[in-house]
Structure formats: structure tokens, C-alpha cells
Structure 1
Amino acid sequence: MALLALVIAILIERYYHGNQSVARDKLSSDNWYFSYLKFLDKSFGDKSWYRAWLKEVFEVILPAVLVFILFKLFDDGFVASVIMLALMVLILVHTFGPQLPSKQLQGYFGAMENDDSQAAYEYAKTYTGKESDSEDTMIQDVTDSIFYNIESQYFSVAIWFVLLGPAGALLYRMLLWQQQENKLGEFGQKIHYGMEWLAFRLSALTYLLAGDMAQGIEHGKGKFFDLQVSGKELLNLVANGSMGGSYEDDSACAANHCAISLSQRAGVILFAIIAVASFLGWTFV
């Protein structure tokens, strides 16, 4: 069922991205989650026991546990299976995206093609959240952000969906939402770090298969099993190495185009691995 849910979710993704529908952004909106956090603060914020790790359990773990229980309680019978499949697809589409780098960077690529450096810097800053001190640094920052955004918005969601079911995908996304708003506590940071440490390394293997394996291995050598090396750091090393040194075009942002192309090939490989795992019965759902 995991494979079927992923196929349907990907088809929905292609439809929304192809039609540039604003409905896609609404499907991935985190408004409900932060409304839930406000409700918790209003209800328990003044309680002495509502502190530290227990607060984070309520904020992040509890919704994921409830989703897990829901799927375990209603997994028998044809009608129940159809309903559960629909809920899986809804959760996947909700936790995916919402936008692909190729769409987010349209303005950036256009500015680079027109030699409008100032506009390119502004678009790059919006995308990466960084101030670049040179064009080379800007291009590298955009490349790293492409790898991270595709990983965190798609690959890791799919991996944790396969490993822990819809609850895993939702848990990762909720942690990411809090991390992006700098609201993640120490307990949540450890869970988020662990989830990215594993998922990003699994994805790094697909980049090795999709690109220059020798260079990718050389860049990540000795760091793959190092607990002190974050998933983001390892993925950037391996993915950048897997691009090799030559690109299909000679434009200033050729590395950025190459990063998107490499990520697309890695995504195909990841989906193929998930398909095989599903047929062998190795998936959670």
C-alpha cells in the first residue's frame, strides 16, 4: 500500500506543479499545526508540569502517535483499506513540497541569463536565506540549498513514510516546521537530528548511483557513519561530489541546473528502491 500511496501522491504533485495551482500551497499549509501549538500554550502554558521535553512530546510526538494509532485501528477490510489509502495520500501530499526548486528559482535563473547580478543576488538570498559575498559563493549556496530543500521536502518525507508509515512522514514534517521557525527545543532537536542523520545518508546513496560515484565517495569518505557529521553536511558533500567537475552547459549557473538534474535522477532511483522494498514486503505500510 505504501507504493500505491506514493504513486498517487506523486501524480497529484505533478498535476499541481504542472498547473501552477495555488491550491498546492494550501495543501501543505502549516497553519493547522501552529494553531494547535497556540491551543496547547493557551491550555497548558501556565502549568508547572508543561515544560521541557514533556512540552515537546505534546507538540510533536502526540499528533504522530495519534496518526499511528488511527492507522493501526482501521487496517482491516476493503472499505477501511480504501479510506486508509486516501488518508495516506492526503498526509503525503500535505507533507511534501510545496514547491520544486525549478519553480522557486525561475526568477533567479532568469536574472542570471539576463546578467542582472543584483536581481540574481536578491532571488538567491530569498531562496537560501544567506548573504553571499561573491557570485561563486552565491551559486554554491544555491546548489547546497537545492540539495537540502529537495531532500527535506521530498526524499526524507518519502523515506520516513516507508520506514514508519504516515506517522513518520508527519513527525518529520512537524519537526521541520518547528526547526524552520526556530521553535524546536532540545528534545525535538535530537529527534530531528537523528531522523535527518539516517534519511539524508540513505538519500546520499542514491546520489552516488545517479552521478559520479568515485567523486561522491571521495567527498564523503570517513564521514558516512560519523554521528557528529549531520545529515545535511554529509548530503552536501556527497551530492556536490557526485556532480563531478563538468556540466552540460557553460552558463554561470550550470552547477545549479546540474544539481536539479542530479536530484531528479536520484529521486527516480529512490522511488525504484522503494518499489522493490514494497514488493519484498520490507515497508512499514
Structure 2
Amino acid sequence: MALLALVIAILIERYYHGNQSAARDKLSSDNWYFSYLRFCDKSFADKKWYQGWVKDAVEAVLPALLAFVLFKFFDDGFVASFTVLALMVLILVHTFGPQLPSKQLEGYFRAVENGEKQAAYEYAMIFTGKESENEATMVKDVTESIFYKVESQYFSVAIWFVLLGPAGALLYRMLLWQQQENRLGALGKKLHYAMEWLAFRISALTYLLAGDMASGIEQGKGQFFDLEVSGKDLLNTVATASMGLNVDDKNSPCAANRCAISLSQRSGVILFALVAVASLLGWSFV
């Protein structure tokens, strides 16, 4: 069922990316979650017990736990299976995205190709969240952001969906929302780090298979099992090395960026194949 849910969610993704980005953004809206956080703050902020790990658990773990319990209510049967599938697809579509880097970077690529350097810098800053010092740094920052956004918005969600079910995908997404707003507590930071440490390394393997494996292994072999090396750092090292870019950057300034998108797409196909195998062999949680 995990495989079927992923197939349907991907088809929905393709439809919305090709037609209605505004509607797609609404499907991934985090408004409900931050409304929940505001409710918790308003209701419990002055309580002595609502501190530390308790606060972190209520804000991040509790909604995922409720989602897990919800799925346990459904017994076997056609109606129950159909309901579970629909809920799985809904959670997947909600936790995916909201928009592929290739779509987000359309203005950036257009500006680079037209020689509009200032516009390219502005598009890059919006995409990466930081200001680049020069063109080479801009291209590098965009490349690393492509890998991270594809991973955090799609690959990791799919991986945790397979490993822990819809509750796992939702938990990862909620931690990501908190991290983006600098709201992660001590427990949330540890959970977020651990989930990215594992998921990003699984994805790194797909980049090795999709790109220059020898170069990727050479650059990342000393970091792969190091608990001190974050998932993001390991993925950037392996994915960048796996690009094996042999293009004259003077003739194509953003060649590395396009190569990163292409490599991510190939890695996605491999990851989907791994998910399919895991599902057929009964290795998935759902």
C-alpha cells in the first residue's frame, strides 16, 4: 500500500506543478501546525510542567502520535483499506513540497541566460536564503540548496513514510517547519538531527548510483558513518562529488545547477525503485 500511496501522491504532484502552483501551496500549508503551536503556547506557556522535553513532545511528537493512533483504528476490509490509502495520500501530498527546485529556479535560470546578473543574484538569494559574494559562490550556494530542498521536501519524507508510515512523514515535516522558524527545542533538535542523519545517508547512496560513484565514494567515505557529520553536510559532499561535471563554466555559468537538478531527478527514480522493492518484499512499515 505504501507504493500505491506514493504513486498516487507523485501523480498529484505532477498535476499541480504543471497547472496550479497556488493550489499546490495550499495543500502543503503549515498554517494548521503553527495555529496548533500558538494554541499550546496560549494554553500552557504559564504552566511549570510545560517546559523542556514535555513542551517539545507536545509540539512535535504528539500530532504524529495521534496520526499513528488514527491509522490503528481501521481494521482490515475494503472500506478500511480505501480510507487508509486516502489518508496516506493526503498526508504525503501535504508533507511533500510545496514546489520543486526546478520550478522555483525558472526565473534564476532565465536571468543567468540573459546576462542579468543582479536579477540572478536576487533570485538566488530568495532560493538559498543567503547573499552570495560572487558568481562562483552563488552557483555553489544554489547547487547545495537544490540538494537540500529536494532531500528535505521529497526524499526524506518518502523515506520516513516507508520506515515509520504516515506518522513518520508527518513527524519529519513538523520538525522541519520548526527548524525553519528556529523553534526547535532540545528534544526536537536531537530528533531532527537523527532523522536527517539517517535519511540523508540513504539518499546519498542513490546519488552514488545515479552519478560519479568513484568520486562520491572517495569524497564521502570518511564521513558516512561519522555521527558528528550531519546529514546535510554528508549529502552535499557526496552529491556534489557525484555530479562529475565536465562543462566549461565560462560558457554555461549555471551548468552545475542544471546538473544538480538532473542528478536529483535520476536519484529520485532510484529511490522510488528502492521503495518499490521494499514494499514488494514487505520491508516497509505500511
- Structure-2-length-normalised TM-score: 0.98
The 5 A counterparts of 1:154-165 are 154-165=154-165
Q: Does 1:230 align with 2:221?
A: no
Contact 1:5 1:85 in 2 (8 A): yes
Contact 1:247 1:258 in 2 (8 A): no
Letter in 1 for 2:12: I
Partner of 1:133, secondary structure, is coil
The 5 A counterparts of 1:200-239 are 200-239=200-239
Contact 2:5 2:89 in 1 (8 A): yes
Separation (CA, whole Å) in 2 of partners of 1:110 and 1:136: 17
Tell me the residue number matched to 1:133.
Answer: 133
Letter in 1 for 2:276: A
Partner of 1:224, secondary structure, is coil
Tell me the residue number matched to 2:279.
Answer: 278
Contact 1:156 1:200 in 2 (8 A): yes
Shift of 1:186: 1.2
The 5 A counterparts of 1:58-77 are 58-77=58-77
Letter in 2 for 1:188: G
Q: Does 1:152 align with 2:152?
A: yes
Tell me the residue number matched to 2:17.
Answer: 17
Tell me the residue number matched to 1:241.
Answer: 241
Separation (CA, whole Å) in 2 of partners of 1:248 and 1:152: 30
The 5 A counterparts of 1:191-206 are 191-206=191-206
Change (3 A) 1:117 1:248: closer
Q: Deviations over 1:53-103 (max 9, x none)?
A: 100100010000010111122142110110010000000000000000111
Shift of 1:21: 3.4
Tell me the residue number matched to 1:180.
Answer: 180
Which structure 2 segments of 5+ residues have no match? none
Separation (CA, whole Å) in 2 of partners of 1:51 and 1:279: 43
Contact 1:75 1:84 in 2 (8 A): no
Tell me the residue number matched to 1:3.
Answer: 3
Separation (CA, whole Å) in 2 of partners of 1:51 and 1:247: 53
Shift of 1:245: 3.1
Tell me the residue number matched to 1:259.
Answer: 260
Tell me the residue number matched to 1:29.
Answer: 29
Shift of 1:38: 0.6
Tell me the residue number matched to 2:84.
Answer: 84
Number of residue pairs aligned between Structure 1 and Structure 2: 285
Shift of 1:128: 0.4
Which structure 1 segments of 5+ residues have no match? none
Q: Does 1:269 align with 2:275?
A: no
Separation (CA, whole Å) in 1 of partners of 2:138 and 2:213: 25
Separation (CA, whole Å) in 2 of partners of 1:248 and 1:205: 27
Separation (CA, whole Å) in 1 of partners of 2:98 and 2:75: 29
Letter in 1 for 2:270: I
Shift of 1:132: 0.8
Between 1:240-249 and 1:158-167, the stretch displaced more is 240-249
Contact 2:176 2:192 in 1 (8 A): yes
Partner of 1:97, secondary structure, is coil
Q: Which runs of 4+ in 1 moved over 2 A?
A: 247-250
Shift of 1:20: 3.4
Shift of 1:248: 9.3
Separation (CA, whole Å) in 2 of partners of 1:210 and 1:158: 18
Between 1:15-24 and 1:207-216, the stretch displaced more is 15-24
Separation (CA, whole Å) in 2 of partners of 1:54 and 1:247: 52
Between 1:129-138 and 1:240-249, the stretch displaced more is 240-249
Separation (CA, whole Å) in 1 of partners of 2:174 and 2:182: 12
